[in-house]
Chains A and B, each alone.
Chain A
Amino acid sequence: MSTSTEPTAGYEHPDIVLCPGGPMLLRGKHTIEDADGVAHETTRPVTAVCRCDRSQSFPWCDGTHKVLPEKLRPT
Chain B
Amino acid sequence: MHVPDPRGPLTEELFRALRSGTDDFYTVLAATPAAEGEDAALALWALHELHYRGFDDVDDALEWDPQLVRVRVVLERDLESRLRARFARPEGLSFVEDFFGWLDQQEGASLARHVHRDATYDQAVELLRVKSLYHLKESDPVAWLVPRLGVRAKAALMELQFDEYGDGDPNRLHHHLFAEGLRATGLEASYDAHLEVMPQEAFDQHNTVSMFGLQRRLRGAALGHLAAFEATSSLPSRRMAQGLERLGFPAEMVAYYAEHVEADAVHEQLAVRTIIGALLEEEPELEEDVWFGAFTCLDLDDRFARTMLSRWGADEEQVA
Chain B 139-163: CB-based contact to A (< 8 A → 1; otherwise 0): 0000000000011100100010011
B167 engages A45 (CB within 8 Å): yes
30 A-B interface contacts by CB (under 8 A): A4-B150, A6-B150, A11-B152, A11-B155, A17-B269, A23-B265, A23-B266, A23-B269, A25-B266, A25-B269, A25-B270, A43-B167, A44-B167, A45-B159, A45-B163, A46-B266, A48-B266, A48-B269, A57-B261, A61-B262, A62-B234, A62-B261, A62-B265, A63-B235, A63-B238, A63-B261, A63-B264, A63-B268, A64-B235, A66-B100
Q: Counting CB contacts under 8 A, is B273 at the interface?
A: yes
| Cα separation A67 to B236 with both chains bound (whole Å) | 12
Given A17-B273, A21-B100, A56-B238 in contact, is the A63-B265 Cβ separation under 8 Å? yes
B contact residues, range? 20 to 34
Q: Counting CB contacts under 8 A, is B56 at the interface?
A: no
Given A66-B104, A66-B235 in contact, is the A45-B265 Cβ separation under 8 Å? no
Residues of the A chain whose Cβ atoms lie less than 8 Å from the Cβ of B270: 25, 46
Residues of the B chain whose Cβ atoms lie less than 8 Å from the Cβ of A57: 261-262
Closest Cβ of chain A: how far from B110's Cβ, in Å?
A: 13
Closest to A22 in B: B269
Residues of the A chain whose Cβ atoms lie less than 8 Å from the Cβ of B268: 63
Closest Cβ of chain A: how far from B228's Cβ, in Å?
A: 13
| Cα separation A4 to B162 with both chains bound (whole Å) | 26
Residues of B whose CB lies within 8 Å of any CB of A are 100, 104, 150-152, 155, 159, 162-163, 167, 234-235, 238, 261-266, 268-270, 273-274
Label chain B's interface by main secondary structure. Answer: helix
Closest to B101 in A: A21
Closest to A27 in B: B159
Q: Counting CB contacts under 8 A, is A19 at the interface?
A: yes
Given A11-B152, A19-B273, A45-B159 in contact, is the A60-B265 Cβ separation under 8 Å? yes
| Cα separation A6 to B149 with both chains bound (whole Å) | 12
Closest to A55 in B: B265
| Cα separation A41 to B142 with both chains bound (whole Å) | 29
Residues of the A chain whose Cβ atoms lie less than 8 Å from the Cβ of B162: 45
Besides A17-B269, A62-B261, 14 other A-B contacts (C-beta < 8 A): A4-B150, A6-B150, A11-B151, A11-B152, A22-B269, A44-B266, A46-B270, A56-B238, A61-B234, A62-B238, A63-B238, A64-B235, A66-B235, A67-B235
| Cα separation A66 to B274 with both chains bound (whole Å) | 19
Closest to A57 in B: B262
| Cα separation A21 to B99 with both chains bound (whole Å) | 12
| Cα separation A43 to B151 with both chains bound (whole Å) | 26
Closest Cβ of chain A: how far from B159's Cβ, in Å?
A: 6
| Cα separation A66 to B281 with both chains bound (whole Å) | 26
Residues of the B chain whose Cβ atoms lie less than 8 Å from the Cβ of A66: 100, 104, 235
Closest Cβ of chain B: how far from A70's Cβ, in Å?
A: 9
A60 engages B262 (CB within 8 Å): yes
B265 engages A61 (CB within 8 Å): yes
Closest Cβ of chain A: how far from B279's Cβ, in Å?
A: 14
In the complex, which of the residues B100, B150, B265, B269 has the most CB atoms of chain A within 10 Å of its own CB atom?
B265
